[in-house]
Amino acid sequence: MSQHIEIEFKNLLKKEEFSRLQTYFKLDGSKFKKQVNHYFDTSSFSLKNAGSALRIREKGNQYELTLKQPDETGLLETSQILSGQEASAALQHSVFPEGIIKDSLANMRVDTDSLVFFGSLTTLRAEKEYENGLIVLDHSYYLNKEDFELEYEVTDAIEGLSIFNNLLEELNIPKRETDNKIKRFYNEKYKQLRN
């Protein structure tokens, strides 16, 4: 189990901008690793409405259950490692193990029995240490859609924002309002449900 405050800056990219960043940071195809985020919420979107998100991240044969909740300086991330059997029970039957996340959901008045698996988002991700933070390049696929994203994860929000903005300016990449992955996933899901 772990908890930490996530402070990160994001920018959606065009494919050409993504390629430019790959070159700039010397991140060839071998540096990208696959991960799959499996998203859950109630049928009435209780977590989304509370500004929160619940996912199981699958990397190889490792599974991590993470609850993200709003916090003053970013997002409070609470994580717990799952066995393959526990991940399978959650994905197939919405059965979640005992632990801090189940307790946190209960504090939010969200019953894990009401959670529904909404779908998955697959990401090819490369990371590189940069100026007291972590640069992340993501190429994601979900619901017949793909996108490209730059993230910069930091511990100091003010310094991090300055470095992030300078990097975008240096590489002539326009700053774009960027929702996090789960919001982009849900926006696409809503769009498909309406059509």
Rounded CA separation 68/79 (Å): 9
How many other β-carbons are positioned within 10 Å of the β-carbon of residue 181?
A: 21
Domain that holds residue 135: 2-194
Name the residue with tokens 């029995």. Answer: 113
Number of domains in the chain: 1
Residue 72 has pLDDT above 90, yes or no: no
- Residue 109: left (phi > 0), alpha (psi -120 to 50), or beta? left
| CA pair distance 192, 19, nearest whole angstrom | 29
Q: Which residue has 């982009």 as its token pair? A: 184
Measure the CA–CA gap between 183 and 73, rounded to whole angstroms.
19
DSSP-based three-state secondary structure for 25: coil
CA-CA distance, 134 to 193, in Å (whole number)?
Answer: 36
pLDDT at residue 74, rounded to an integer:
77
Q: What is the CATH number of the domain that holds 8?
A: 2.40.320.10
Each residue's pLDDT tens digit, 153-186: 999 999 999 999 999 999 999 999 999 998 899 8
Encode pLDDT of 77-132 as tens digits: 999 999 999 999 999 999 999 999 999 999 999 999 999 999 999 999 999 999 99
The amino acid that residue 8 corresponds to is E
Q: Residue 134 pairs with which residues in a beta bridge?
A: 129, 153
| Burial zone of 168 (CB within 10 Å; 0-12 exposed, 13-18 middle, 19+ buried) | buried
Q: What is the pLDDT of residue 186?
A: 84
- The model's pLDDT over 20-58, given as tens digits with 9 standing for 90+, comes to 999 999 999 999 999 999 999 998 889 988 999 999 999
Count Cβ atoms below 10 Å from residue 93 Cβ, excluding itself.
9
Whole-prediction pTM:
0.89
The answer to whether the Cα torsion of 52, 78, 141, 7 is positive or negative is positive
